[in-house]
């Protein structure tokens, strides 16, 4: 399963993705899917197995534009985005 960390600020999203890398989480900065209808256009994407570490990394920075973690899934061939926790 894939997790998206959505931000309202591109700069904070890029900073967060860099911190994830620094702390050993394989992540990509990708465009926020238009179906999600949220954020600044960029999000950090990583595997759900790294969620606990990614949440801990989030608490290390001051990310005022963080919107939330979302689980990206596909149902009937269509993408769905369900909020996890902040």
Q: What is the pTM of this model?
A: 0.86
> CA-to-CA distance for 11 and 59, rounded, in angstroms?
17
Q: Per mean pLDDT, which of 15-19, 40-44, 69-73 is the most reliable?
A: 15-19
What phi, psi does 65 have (nearest 5°)? -95, 5
> CA-to-CA distance for 46 and 35, rounded, in angstroms?
18
DSSP H or E stretch at residue 44: strand 42-47
Whether 42 contacts 29, CB under 8 Å: yes
The domain spans of the chain are: 2-66
CATH number of the 2-66 domain: 3.30.70
The pLDDT of residue 36: 67
């Amino acid at each position: 399963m894939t997790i998206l960390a959505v931000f309202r600020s591109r700069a904070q999203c890029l900073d967060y993705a860099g911190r994830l890398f620094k702390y050993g989480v394989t992540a990509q900065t990708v465009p926020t899917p238009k179906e999600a209808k949220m954020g600044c256009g960029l999000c950090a994407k990583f595997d759900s197995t790294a969620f606990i570490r990614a949440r801990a990394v989030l608490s290390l920075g001051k990310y005022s534009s963080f919107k939330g973690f979302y689980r990206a899934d596909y149902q009937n061939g269509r993408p769905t985005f369900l909020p996890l926790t902040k």
